[in-house]
Amino acid sequence: MGRLAMIIRDDSYDRVLTPLAFGYLGAAIYDEVDILFVSWAAKLLTEEGLRDAKISADHAGQEEMVKEGVRSAGLPDDLYEIIKLMKETEKINFYLCSLAGHVFGVSKESAIPELNEVVGATWFLTKKAHGAECFMQF
């Protein structure tokens, strides 16, 4: 059915759940799902960033409630486990914005093995987002 392209910019636990869920569900509909991590979300492409992801300040104190809701929906509450499940579909590609990587200290070498490539934002926009049947930004 074509491609889904997404850009994720936030590294808060609760704010990244929605784009990860859409990406995972997108793999059931689309032939390819391409996700670019920009700004603070670049940190989510490292084990440390995934482990240290906290709930947004707007919802401080509700982390356990959110995680319980995720578990009761039948999903792992660990972000890295979600990313691994997404990668197992063999339809989802994870990209790191080169500028975000530079600013936030994330490189191909320091990233999780699920990262496909470090790319420029222009490359992602012209090669992945342009022409995608659906584009989402979070």
pLDDT per residue over 53-108, tens digit each?
999 999 999 999 999 999 999 999 999 999 999 999 999 999 999 999 999 999 99
Contact 85, 79 (CB under 8 A): no
Average pLDDT, the chain: 97
> 26 and 138 in contact (C-beta within 8 Å)?
no
Give the residue-averaged pLDDT of 46-56: 96
Q: What residue spans define the domains of the chain?
A: 3-137
Query: What is d(CA 113, CA 126) in angstroms, rounded to the nearest whole number?
Result: 25
Give the span between the Cα atoms of 37 and 40, in whole angstroms: 8
Residue 138 DSSP class: -
Contact between residue 34 and residue 1 where contact means Cβ atoms under 8 Å apart: no
CA 48 to chain centre: 15
Q: Could you tell me the CATH superfamily of domain 3-137?
A: DsrEFH-like (3.40.1260.10)
What DSSP character marks residue 117?
E
Hey, what amino acid is at 49? G
pTM: 0.95
What is the pLDDT, as a whole number, of residue 104?
Answer: 98
Contact (CB, 8 A) for 90 and 29: no
